[in-house]
Structure 1
Amino acid sequence: MYFHLQNLINPIEQDEPDPAAANALQEGLGGQFGEMRTMMQYLFQSINFRGANAKPYKDLIQGIGTEEISHVELIGTTIARLLDGSPEYRGKPDDPVDLPGARGATPLNIALDHGNIHHYLVGAQGALPVDAVGNPWSGSYVYNSGNLVLDLLYNLMLESTGRLQKCRLYEMTDNKTARSTISYLIVRDQAHENAYARALETLGVNWRTALPIPKTSAERFPEVKRLLDLGLQSKQYSFDLGDQSEAGRIFQGISPSDDGTQLDATEQAPEGVPIQIAPERPEEFSPGADPELMALIEATAAMEMADIDATFGKLG
């Protein structure tokens, strides 16, 4: 079972809307080496895993796959925030539809020549399951051979390539909203590289001669350096509420990154930060909920919360 804590795994800095940066970030979400790919690849590998004696490797892959769900949430939310808001638009929900912006400004004109027009036409200023040129995410990206060594090698290559692309994304924008998420994902990709590299070493595979972790010099990015100084590249979380994960039997010892840190798998999950729901966007007719519908939504939410309280007890 999977549970959702309504926190983002990392804070997102505030900055101006930037549809071009949002479109570039789509590659990190729905591209061949993006977060949707890592999430699905690791979860399918863990679902299909065979061999009870190799459980620590299953737990390691499943823990990383679970974290990748939160990465999809983080980068998708970042894309939405980069899209949220239209220049000169100061409309209110009760404004007449034929005068949508201040002084009659056209509220969605930015969609015509910035980034991906589908962010506005289809996504209501939100993320889409596509890459940076609009190609839909494909399940054919997922690699799951069933052979542990092959899967770990492929996972190491996937994390290495993903980190390389995120370093390029960082160089493409100075938007603080984008960079706060990109820098976090760069460091966590390195942590996952360390995990798969160490797993291969425990199996006697000399991965360094065939697949060196790329030297991206990412530590020169100030946001990345701050996270590296905190040792985030050497932590791996279990996301295991039952405290049954054996991934710590693998994720231990000196880091394969040769940065002098020790690998640490003692934490269940990072603390995270509260999720803030984005404001309504009347120019997108989103959510388009009239008073009667809002009343129904609130009544339904109250019923669902009562059911949760009855099943799990009241949450603090």
Structure 2
Amino acid sequence: MFMNIQRLINEIVPDEPDPAAANALQEGLGGQFGEMRTMMQYLFQSFNFRGAAAKPYRDLLYGIGTEEISHVELIATTIARLTDGSPRYNGSPEAPLDEAAAGGATPLSTALSAGNIHHFLVGGQGALPVDAVGNPWSGSYVYNSGNLVLDLLYNLMLESTGRLQKCRIYEMSSNKTLRSTVAYLIVRDQAHENAYAKALETLGVDWGRTLPIPKTAAERFPEVKTLLDQGLAEKQYTFSLDNLSEAGKIFQGSAPAAMNGATLRTEQSPEGYPMEIAVERPEEFAPGLDPALLELVQQTAEMEVAQASDPTD
């Protein structure tokens, strides 16, 4: 059973809209090595897990899989902000992507010149379950062999490749909105690499100098270094409200990819950051609550309140 807290797992730093950056980020969402795959792969491995004696490994998969749900949410929200072309956006009138904000006659004109036109044509200035070239996300990406060691090896490969791609996406744009999200995911991917590598280490694997993969020295990215200095790569969340998770039996001791002898530790969940709902997009005819519908909603709410407060009802 999953619970929901209406907070983002990481802060999204505001910046100018950038549809091209949004399209690059689509790969990190719906690509073969993106967050939709990690979410589905780890959760299905958890759902299909066998063997009560190996419960700590199942709990580790559950915790990481649950976190990946929040990563999907984070990337999707970031893409929506990067594609923001509404006339209500109060940005710089001089910037090319702000033509709509400056009162242009064609507020969706940016859809024709940069990024993925489907973000505007199909998605209402929001994320889509596709990769960077528009291929739909596929369940065939999900690997779940039923063999614990094979699954852990595949998961480590998935996190390593995902982090490699995010380092490349980071280098594609200086947009602060994009980089705030990508930097966070780079660090969390490394934390998950540590988790799967440590799990395999408990099963007899000696990594030596092999990890981390890739050896990107991502700490040269300032946003990444800040998060690494906070120890974000050495902690794993259990998301276990009843505290029955045994993932801490695996995620402990020194990290396989540790620098300066970093120690692994588990926590229940991050505090998160306030979540704001985006304003309407009139040029997209969304969300569609015109004055008449809003009045009807208000009347219905008042009627329900009156009924609830009437003791004779």
1:37 equivalent in alignment to 2:37: yes
Q: Does 1:262 align with 2:263?
A: yes
Q: Does 1:238 align with 2:242?
A: no
Deviations 1:155-186 (A, max 9, x none): 00000000000000000000000000000000
Question: What are the within-5 Å matches in structure 2 for residues 134-173 of structure 1?
Answer: 134-173=134-173
**How far off is 1:302 after superposition?**
9.1
Residue matched to 1:310? none
Contact 1:17 1:82 in 2 (8 A): yes
The Cα of 1:209 is off from its aligned counterpart by 7.6
Superposed displacement of residue 288, structure 1: 1.1
Change over 3 Å in CA distance of 1:117–1:59 after alignment to 2 = same
Helix, strand or coil at the partner of 1:69: helix
Supply the distance in 1 between the matched residues of 2:19 and 2:304 (Cα, whole angstroms): 36
Contact 2:211–2:256 (CA under 8 A) maintained in structure 1: no
Whole-Å separation in 2 of the counterparts to 1:150 and 1:178: 33
**Scaled by the length of structure 2, what TM-score is found?**
0.89
Could you tell me whether the CA contact under 8 Å between 1:79 and 1:126 is conserved in 2? yes
* 1:36 Cα deviation from its structure 2 partner: 0.2
- Deviation by residue 1:108-148 (Cα, 9 ceiling, x = unmatched): 01001211000000001000000000000000000000000
Instruction: Give me the identity figure in percent.
Output: 76
Match of 2:250 in 1: 250
Separation (CA, whole Å) in 1 of partners of 2:58 and 2:84: 39
The offset of 1:85, in angstroms, is: 2.1
What is the distance in 2 between the residues matched to 1:222 and 1:102?
33
TM (norm. structure 1) is 0.88
Higher deviation after alignment, 233-242 or 203-212 = 203-212
**Matches of 2:64 and 2:73 in 1, distance apart?**
14
Which residue is 2:123 aligned to? 123
Question: Which residue is equivalent to 2:50?
Answer: 50
Equivalent position amino acid for 1:31 in 2: G
Mark the CA change 1:32 to 1:262 in structure 2 (over 3 Å): closer, same or farther.
Answer: same
SS at match of 1:62: helix
The within-5 A match list for 1:1-316 is 1-86=1-86, 89-90=87-88, 105-207=105-207, 213-259=213-259, 260-265=261-266, 267-295=267-295, 297=297
Q: Relative to structure 1, is the Cα distance of residues 209 and 187 closer, same or farther in structure 2, using a 3 angstrom cutoff?
A: closer
Residue 206 of structure 1: how far off its partner (Å)? 3.2
Q: Which amino acid aligns with 1:234?
A: E
CA drift of 1:4 comes to: 0.7
SS at match of 1:244: coil
Task: Give 1:244 deviation, angstroms.
Answer: 0.3
Deviation at 1:294, TM superposition (A): 2.8
CA distance in 2, matches of 1:110, 1:148: 47
Number of matched residues? 294
Structure 1 residue runs of 5 or longer lacking an equivalent are 92-99, 306-316
Could you tell me how far 1:283 is from its partner in structure 2? 0.4
Q: Give the C-alpha shift of residue 304 in structure 1.
A: 11
The alpha carbon displacement at 1:292 in A equals: 3.6
Instruction: Tell whether the 8 Å contact from 1:200 to 1:207 is kept in structure 2 after alignment.
Output: no
Q: What SS does structure 2 have at the residue aligned with 1:179? A: helix
- Deviation, 1:208, is 5.2
Provide runs of 4+ in structure 1 moved above 3 Å: 100-104, 206-212, 295-305
Deviations 1:173-232 (A, max 9, x none): 000000000000000000000000000000112355877622011010000000000000
Instruction: Please report how far the alpha carbon of residue 291 of structure 1 lies from its aligned counterpart in structure 2 after TM superposition.
Output: 2.8
Q: Distance in 1 between matches of 2:191 and 2:300?
A: 41
1:92-122 Cα shifts (integer Å, max 9, x gaps): xxxxxxxx98655211010012110000000
2:236 partner SS: coil
What is the SS of the residue equivalent to 2:143? coil
Instruction: Identify if the C-alpha distance between structure 1 residues 112 and 146 changes in structure 2 by more than 3 Å, giving closer, same or farther.
Output: same
- Cα–Cα, structure 1 residues 232 and 281, in superposed 2: closer, same or farther, change >3 Å? same
Alpha-carbon RMSD across the aligned residues, in angstroms, is 2.2
In the alignment, what sits opposite 1:96? none
CA distance in 2, matches of 1:115, 1:90: 21
Which residue number corresponds to residue 312 of structure 1?
A: none
Opposite residue 138 of structure 1, the aligned amino acid is: S
Q: Partner amino acid for 1:291?
A: P
